[in-house]
Homo-oligomer: A and B are copies of this chain.
Amino acid sequence: MSVNLPSPLFGAVEAGGTKFVCAVGRGPDDLPAVTRFPTTTPEETLARTLAFFREQPTTPVAVGVGSFGPVDPDPHSPTYGHITLTPKPRWSNVDVAGALREGLGVPVAFDTDVNAAGLGEHRWGAAQGLDTFLYLTVGTGIGGGGLAGGRPMHGLVHPEMGHIFVPRAPGDTFAGACPFHGDCLEGMASGSALEARWGRPAAELPADDPAWPLEAHYLAYGIANFILTLSPQRIIVGGGVMRRPRLLPMIRQKVKTILNGYVKAPTFDDLDAYLVPPALGDRAGVLGALAMAQELA
C-alpha cells in the first residue's frame, strides 16, 4: 500500500518599496493564498508578513524573498539578507531574511526584486531555457537583474542598471529626477521622472503625448547599452510604465535604429521575440521568490 504524501508548500515574499506581496503555493497555477499590503515601518510590515505565513494551515518548508534595495545578496556576508543603505526612511540595515528565518524557523532565500522576477520568468515564463537574459522593470524606479551564464547577477554588490547614463535626446533640457545622479536613465525615464517632468502621473499622459517618443528614446538607449554590455539572449521589460500599449513597439524600433545592424543574430531581424513583456505579468516577482524557495529546499 502506498501513501501519497502531499508535496510541500513554499512561501514567497515580493518585498517592494511600496507594497509587499506574500504567497504560499507551488507554482503559477497553485497559489492557494496570496496577500498584499502597503510597505509601512519595517516592524509592522515584517510582522504582517510573519502573520500571513503563520496563519496558513501548514507552515511553508522554505521562503524566498525578492526585495527592494540596495540589499546584501551574498550568502557569505554577515549582512546577508539585509536591506543596506536605502534612501527609504527607516529601512536601512533591516535584516529581512533574518526576521523571516527566525520568525518561521525555516530556511530563507534572498535576492533583489529584479533577480527574483527574472528567476520567475526563467522557471515559468518568457526566459525558460535561457542562461543569459535580463529582466528590467520600469516603474517608480528602474531596475534590472536576471541570469548571466546561468547564475543570478551579483558581483561586488548587485547591478543597479537603472542608474546608467545615456545620451540626452536632442534639445532635451530636463535636469533629471534622480537624487544621486540627476539625468541617469532612472532620472530621465522612470515613472517618478515622468511625473516630475510632465506634472502628472504617466498613466494620465495621453497616447499621443510627446512624452512617449522621448520615453522610448531613453529606454531604447538604456536597452541598447545592456545588449552591448551583456549580450543577453532575451530582455523582458515589465513595470507600471510599460503598461502603456504602444511603448514597447516604439522601443523595439528605436533599439534597431541605434544598434544599426552591429549585433548580428537572427533574433535581431525582428525584435518582437527579443524584447518582450513578462509572461507572468505582475506575478513575476512573487513567483520568482517562490522558485527561489523551491531551489533552496
Contacts and interface: CB of A to CB of B under 8 A. Distances in A.
A242 to B, nearest CB: 19
Most-contacted residue by chain B among A84, A157, A164, A168 (CB, 10 A):
A164
A153 interface: yes
A153 B258 contact: no
Contacts of A261: 180
The copy count of this chain in the complex is 2
A224 B163 CA distance: 9
A226 interface: yes
Interface in A112-171: 132, 144, 148-161, 163-168
A265 interface: yes
A23 to B, nearest CB: 28
A215 to B, nearest CB: 17
Given A166-B167, A180-B262, A262-B163, A156 B267 contact: yes
A259 B232 CA distance: 25
A104 B232 CA distance: 34
A264 interface: yes
Contacts of A230: 148, 153, 155, 159, 229-230
22 contacts: A70-B264, A84-B264, A132-B155, A144-B229, A148-B148, A148-B155, A149-B152, A149-B153, A150-B151, A155-B230, A156-B231, A156-B263, A157-B263, A159-B229, A161-B229, A163-B262, A165-B166, A165-B221, A180-B261, A181-B258, A225-B225, A229-B229
